[in-house]
């Protein structure tokens, strides 16, 4: 009887060990699956971030020019450089650029705001501009505003890679240290409104096709 009990106990231990081994195998498998899922999520996140980075920095609509409108009729205004680092007291230039995305335009208004405590607007230069008529060229220092309105008779201008995309150049002086989180020199712009920055299509109707703007982030040390 005792031998029989020992055999039964031995068989029970073997069965228990087999169950434990199987459970360990399942746990290891599940752990591996979790690791694979986490690694996949990390990889997917990295790919998304990389795509967003490429979209905004390499295929940005602001620097993508067309000889003919690729689809809907739009235009863009943007500042260059997009980011700058300067010392207090240093003077620097910001170019006001236009992208008509393949459409002919006859006028554009660039209304720009800046932090008058951190920077001082000194002058506006339209020499060599894509436009040849000046309707407005004003610095309103007390408000930290710049108003530039230029034009060119029909057929106006159409921008594409390699031709003149510059409206004007604004010269600034750095006054105080600043480390901005968002653009601190930027366009006054409301999509669909003609009260501020605009780009006017050569359609004899005065259609404003400005779709978006991009300012500059200026760091001063």
Here the CATH number for the domain that contains residue 103 is 2.60.40.680
Is 50 exceeded by the pLDDT of residue 212?
A: yes
Is 145 in the same domain as 215? yes
Cα–Cα distance for residue pair 99/103, rounded to 1 Å:
9
CA distance 62 to 56: 9
Does residue 161 surpass a pLDDT of 50? yes
Residues 118 and 164 in one domain: yes
Task: Kindly state whether residues 88 and 186 are assigned to the same domain.
Answer: yes
- Are residues 205 and 118 both part of a single domain? yes
Same domain, 139 and 163: yes
pTM of the model: 0.72
Range of the domain at 183: 67-220
Give the pLDDT confidence score for residue 25 in this predicted structure. Answer: 81
Number of domains in the chain: 2
Q: Are residues 44 and 115 in the same domain?
A: no
Same domain, 55 and 86: no
The tens digit of pLDDT for each residue in 87-107 reads: 999 999 999 999 999 999 999
Asked if residue 71 and residue 28 are part of one domain, the reply reads no
Do 89 and 48 have their domain in common?
no
Statement to judge: residues 116 and 197 lie in one domain: yes
Helix (H, G, I), strand (E, B) or coil at 6: helix
159 pLDDT above the threshold of 80: yes
Domain final residue pick, 12, 33, 59: 59
- Segments of 141-216 assigned E as strands: 145-151, 166-174, 185-187, 198-201, 210-214
Of 59, 75, 93, which one is at a domain's C-terminal end?
59
Q: Are residues 81 and 55 in the same domain?
A: no
Strand order in the sheet with 210-214: 119-125, 166-174, 91-99, 75-80, 210-214
Tell whether 136 and 207 lie within a shared domain: yes
């Amino acid at each position: 009887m005792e031998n029989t009990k020992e055999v039964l106990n031995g068989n029970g231990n073997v069965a228990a060990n087999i169950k434990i081994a199987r459970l360990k195998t399942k746990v290891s498998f599940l752990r591996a699956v979790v690791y694979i899922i986490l690694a996949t999520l990390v990889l997917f996140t990295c790919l998304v971030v990389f795509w967003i980075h490429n979209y905004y920095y390499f295929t940005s609509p602001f620097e993508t020019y067309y000889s003919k409108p690729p689809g809907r009729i739009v235009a863009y205004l943007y500042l260059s450089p997009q980011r700058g680092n300067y010392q207090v007291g240093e003077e620097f230039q910001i170019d006001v650029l236009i992208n008509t995305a393949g459409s002919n335009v006859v006028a554009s208004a660039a209304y720009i705001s800046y932090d008058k405590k951190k920077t001082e607007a000194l002058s506006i230069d339209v020499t060599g501009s894509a436009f040849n008529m000046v309707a407005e060229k004003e610095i309103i220092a007390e408000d930290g505003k710049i108003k530039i309105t230029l034009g060119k008779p029909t057929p106006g201008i159409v921008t594409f890679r390699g031709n003149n995309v510059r409206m004007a150049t604004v010269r600034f002086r750095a006054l105080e240290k600043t480390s901005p989180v968002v653009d601190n020199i930027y366009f006054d712009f409301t999509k669909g409104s003609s009260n501020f920055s605009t780009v006017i299509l050569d359609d004899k109707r005065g259609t404003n096709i400005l779709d978006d703007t991009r300012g500059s982030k200026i760091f001063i040390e």
